[in-house]
Structure 1
């Protein structure tokens, strides 16, 4: 299934994409694409529905983040060897972990706001993993049993805030609109080979990132097992798993996003996002 959320920001409704690419309304069956709806049992109930009986939504409806009521938005840094190299950093010996605040979450095609004082606004396309089964101290061999599905995440980053303002990376990672998620959550049963998916990003039609998830240093099962040593993972938690080379920081000379830039990014089988950069008011 391709699960999604549609409607005005803050008032999204649950939906599903049918075989013809039309959005169908799930509101009569679930209140949101969140929490226990993402469990094995919750997803089984949705699979049992006859989608042809559900209302069709106008194709112009705004898409929200494909997961609602996200509890944790955990990110992994430097998880592609080529990106670590372009950043001038050593290959990590275990996953680098940071967080995005849930207030950063927005729809896949919403504007990205360039914050006040920003001068190094950067892009990072990433594979998102959505947890469907709670767990702690999860064995790597069983880790994928805890995955509800996968999605595209844009890890928008302000490098000056991240590196030059002291403290942790989180300052440059969690500004409002720095976490577009979607367009949809593709359930794990429809993603047979997420370990070798094409991942890419363009700015104003110029492709800067073009890689594959096969180049990740730490795999999805390794990441889940690692994180579960330090926190419980809950249904609806989102893990963003790192970005390949080609970010603005790594270009020669570096290049950063400005108001008016158009961004397009996607992952094979998971859809694509489109954003416009606007200046903060």
Structure 2
């Protein structure tokens, strides 16, 4: 019996190691590719050991960009992507918290009907309504602005649904106790519901930040000014926007730098998420 358990443990760890290897290997190749000279890849060779041009390659993409492909320095594009992702994540969470709070704790006519109207919008992603949305943004003179990049993507039926389901699990006695103490609706929301929602907010923030960071079609449609290009747009332009062969060492350096902010957000919010799950007092 002990031998079978040891074999099962070994097999489970082997499968996990293989899975991690499959996921990590492309990332490793990208990191290695970003440290080599441009001529390395024109020879049809994929090196697996680091090169000696890492500082040169990363300095070029950070400070110079690739003017022949219409891609500005990545520092500006990273900032634009960060602003867009943060505004989308914070905006989605704020609006979803308030809408879920209103639907659960305020008794008004047709509140369930309005909730289902919000939920039905899941069937209408940006790609479906992109033409009328673009027309509205253009008429409001929001092209080539951070507001135009973020406001059409802020509303989130998914987050509203998740926060509504969580608020419905909060004991009714807590609301009654808050009323007895003289707390108004917003004080109850701020002092009780928000602290209880930390884990949900952390999870939604990670999801929405990555959603905003990876946006490509909408920024491509409404931005013509290089000052508002996002890093995903920059990568695409570096690959397809020149007459010559793509400079894969610079493309891979850009990919590595573009992956760092989402990874850092995941690591940071994961700690907060675990902390919220393990706390006994809420």
Q: Same fold (TM over 0.5)?
A: no
More relative contact order in 1 or in 2 (CA 8 Å, sep 6+)?
A: 2
Q: Which has the higher helix share?
A: 2
* TM bucket, shorter chain: under 0.3
Q: Which has the higher strand share?
A: 1
Larger of the two Rg values belongs to structure: 2
